[in-house]
Structures are given as C-alpha cells and as structure tokens.
Amino acid sequence: MTTEELRESLLAAPKNGFARISAEERAEMEGYCKRYMAFMDAAKTEREATTWAIAEAEKYGFKPFVPGMDIKPGDKIYYNNRDKAIALAVIGTESLAQGANICAAHVDSPRMDLKPNPLYEEAEIAYFKTHYYGGIKKYQWVTVPLALHGVVYRKDGSIVTVTVGEDENDPILMVSDLLPHLAADQMQKTAGKVIAAEQLNVILGTEPIEGEGSDLVKLNVMKWLNEKYGLIESDFLSAELAIVPAGRSREVGFDRSLISAYGHDDRVCAYAELEALFTIPTPKKTAVCILADKEEIGSVGISGMQSQYFEHFMGGLCDAQGVKLYDCFANSFCLSADVSNAFDPNFAETCDKRNNSFLNYGVAICKYTGSRGKGGASDASAEAMGHIRTTFDNAGVIWQIATLGKVDQGGGGTVAAYMANRNIVTVDAGVPVLNMHAPLELVSKLDCYETMLACKAIYLA
Ligand code: MN
Ligand code: MN
C-alpha cells in the first residue's frame, strides 16, 4: 500500500457536511429549518413548547395517555405533564419487554423569572424584580429587547396566558446598563459582577397616573395589566412569568447558513425529536420522545427528568402489554438529545480542538459531560457508543465527536445521568451551538437537519 492508501484506510478524515450532502438533501434541510424557525417563534418557554407539541401531535393522531388504556402497534399516545413537559410514544410491533427507543430533550431555557412580589416603583420608574433561571452571564441581559411570557392563576381561579413584546405593535421591555462615561468603578469589576443579579430589574413604564402618592407609575402599570389581563397585584404570587428575549429567529450570515434564536438549547433538539417522531412509520421498538422541563436547574421537580412522571407513563404502557417496567427500561436505549459547544475560534483556548464539535459537521455525539475528573457524568460505554455510531452510519447521518471544552475549564450536564440511573443505556448527542445560554444563540442549519435524521435513526433502530 502507498502512504496515501494507508492514510485513507487507517486514519479518520472528517469532512464538512456541505461536502457530503446532495442538492435534494439541501432542499430538505432548508424546508426543515423553516419549520424549525416557526416552532421557535411560537415556543419560547417550556409551557409554550408543550402546548405546541400537543396541538401538532393531535394533528398526527396522537391521543392522551389514560391509565388502563389498551394499546396496539402503531398507536400514538402522549402524556401531558401539567402543561410543562410532555412524553410521546408510537407503539412498536415488538413488545415493550424488548425495550423502547427513547429520545430525550429539554424545552426550558435560561431566562429571568419574575419574583413572587415583582412590581415596584423607584424614582418614578416602574420595574419588575427578577430571579434568573439557569446559567447566564448576567451582563448579556441588559439593553436587549425583552418580552414577558407566562401564565397567571387569578384570584377568581381562572388562568390567563400573558405574552407582551412579540407582536410588532407590542412594546418591549428592557434592563438598563450604566453609561460608559460613569463606569469607572463598574469596569474594574469582574464579568460575573459587572451586572449583579439584583440589578436585573426590568423597566415597565414611567408615566404616572393622575393623583397623589409615591406609587403613581406603578399604579399605572398595574392598571394596564388589569385592563389587558384582569390582574391585581397579589395575582403575581400565583403566576409563572418569565422575561425572555423579544423577537423572532433569523437567518445569519450572507450565505444564510446559520440560525439565530433564543433558546436553541435545547428546543433545537426538542423540535428534531418531534418532527422525527411525527414522520416515522410504525417502528419495531416503541419510539418515545421526551420534552423535559427544569434541565437548566438540575432536572429537579415534578416536571424535570428526575420526576416519576416518566415511570407513570412508561409503566402504564407496560401494564397494557403485561410487561414489567424494569424489563422495559433494562432493554431500552436513550439518546439524550442536548446541545454541545461548537468550536469558536474567538475562544479557541477553552477547547481541545481535537475533541470538540464544529459547526456543519453534523450531530455531535458526546460520550460524557460532567466536570473535572468527569464528575457528574453519565459516561457512555464502548458498547453504547458502538450502537449509536453504527445506527447513525447505517442511516447515513452525518455525525461528529464532542466534548464540553478543555478538561478543568468548566463543564456541564444533561438529562443523560437521570435516564441512565433508570437502567437505560444512554448517550448524549445534539446540535453544536455558538454562544450557548446568551439571549441569542447560533446553530447551523445543516447540524439541525442532521440531528432530526439522528433522532429518526434512533426511533427506527
Ligand atoms: Mn441543554
Ligand atoms: Mn443549557
């Protein structure tokens, strides 16, 4: 053999995905990304994503899960976890005793939640106090257009859905920053302290209502909220209201190869899972799609991936087939579909370039996450990595390897550990993202599309 032949046969030679996809695939990719962007504009919170998923699933014939229900191959069932998370299944031709093929993403994203008593007035400006949710660089959330999304359980027991800042004619909201002229002290602070958590106060209005008192601007804001949504101040206690970046997803770059949006992490994988599930034929093994809440704060709570709601759903399906849930889990496979950090040449020193994911190299498989000496990681086995690699290769999915930055540089986690704790073989894989957890994140269209194909390959494995 010549050196060239040896090199070709022995060494890995990753190629940019654009050199590997056909014109037809590119056209499909563009169509897929248009649908993804429409989803992103409709779903900025876990609730909105769950609502969207249910409406869409019902169009495809999915029915709500009812304990004790009969199931047969081809049945499409969903479990709505309190409007904040959802699991969907397409029943396979094999028994659940043979296991299920699961894809698990999350639909919550970093943001600023309103505090229980948020509304106040200071210097004749009305504000909301916020409490940030998930890992954010606080300085990124000032002077950007913001919107209010959420639900309020009113005193009279009715629920009202609130959205302000998304319609072109809506006002937006904003957190102020200090002018550079007076920032001598601020500029000496470390980035973590440039904007303090208690400075993430959102401006709501400045016009006082007529009358006497020190709360005339606040009162005017409350009057507006009452006229529009029927709210009184104490209703904030029984509310889940979030401040998120206002505006729509956009194509980025002269070549339009990237997409900018709020919350690609992890709705980019959630959407991939959903569209894949909606378009597969009846699978051999039951295909399960999970859109979890609370991943950004540790997958805790009733709507997070540590919640027993998943056992309730899968146990119910197993009961219908006379199968033990433990047997089903023991034979299942889970793709923990979550984003990775795309290599950013601006911050090359934070990554091991030989083991990082790159834009346009396809869905990024991450053997382990965690931090330091793999602390907190669900470290996938050789067998699990072999299974996913073969599955992707057989389906023609463009994939690459990912690790989360240089060792000892930081780290992170996903729902993988909680799925693996259930005795389910689990591997992380997802879309590489630039500026993850910033108000606007970037992904490549090609990677989005390949991640949908990856989910489809897992469901049909
Ligand atoms: Mn994530
Ligand atoms: Mn995240």
Cα 313 to averaged position of ligand 1 atoms, centre (Å) = 23
Q: The pTM is what?
A: 0.97
Instruction: Note the ligand closest to the C-alpha atom of 135.
Output: 2
pLDDT at residue 306, as a whole number: 97
What pLDDT is recorded for position 158?
97
**Residue-range domains of the chain with CATH:** 3-109+262-459 (3.40.630.10), 111-245 (2.30.250.10)
Q: Torsion over CA of 74, 387, 453 and 419, rounded to 10 degrees?
A: 70
Distance from Cα 66 to the centre of ligand 1, integer Å: 30
pLDDT of residue 7: 95
Cα–ligand 2 centroid distance for 286 (angstroms): 28
- Taking the centre of ligand 1 as the mean of its atom positions, its distance from the CA of residue 230, in whole angstroms, is 35
Instruction: Record the tokens describing residue 357, joined without a space.
Output: 């994911």
Cα(454)–Cα(101) distance, integer angstroms: 12
Distance in Å, CA 405 to ligand 2 centroid: 14
Residue 93 CA to residue 91 CA, distance in Å, equals 7
Digitized pLDDT (tens) for each residue of the chain, 461 residues in all = 899 999 999 999 899 999 999 999 999 999 999 999 999 999 999 999 999 999 999 999 999 999 999 999 999 999 999 999 999 999 999 999 999 999 999 999 999 999 999 999 999 999 999 999 999 999 999 999 999 999 999 999 999 999 999 999 999 999 999 999 999 999 999 999 999 999 999 999 999 999 999 999 999 999 999 999 999 999 999 999 999 999 999 999 999 999 999 999 999 999 999 999 999 999 999 999 999 999 999 999 999 999 999 999 999 999 999 999 999 999 999 999 999 999 999 999 999 999 999 999 999 999 999 999 998 889 999 999 999 999 999 999 999 999 999 998 988 889 999 999 999 999 999 999 999 999 999 999 999 999 999 999 999 99
Could you say which ligand is closest to the alpha carbon of residue 267?
Answer: 1
Cα separation of 436 and 444, whole Å? 13
Q: How far is the CA of 266 from the centre of ligand 1 (A)?
A: 5
Q: How far is the CA of 139 from the centre of ligand 2 (A)?
A: 17
Closest ligand, as measured to the CA of 269 = 1
What are 148's two structure tokens? 């209010």
What amino acid is encoded at 260 in this protein?
A: S
Distance in Å, CA 296 to ligand 2 centroid = 5
The rounded Å distance from CA 390 to ligand 2 centre is 28
Adjacent-strand bridge partners of 103: 289, 335
| Ligand 1 mean position, distance from CA 69 (Å) | 33
| Cα of 437 from ligand 1 centre, angstroms | 9
Distance CA 9, CA 381 (A): 25
* Distance in Å, CA 107 to ligand 1 centroid: 8
Please report the pLDDT score of residue 179 as a whole number: 98
Question: Helix/strand/coil (H, E, C) string of 42-103?
Answer: HCCCHHHHHHHHHHHHHHCCCEECCCCCCCCCCCEEEEEECCCEEEEEECCCCCHHHCEEEE
Give the ligand with the smallest distance to the CA of 340.
1
Beta bridge pairs of residue 112? 132, 243
Tell me, in angstroms, the distance from the centre of ligand 2 to residue 312's CA: 26
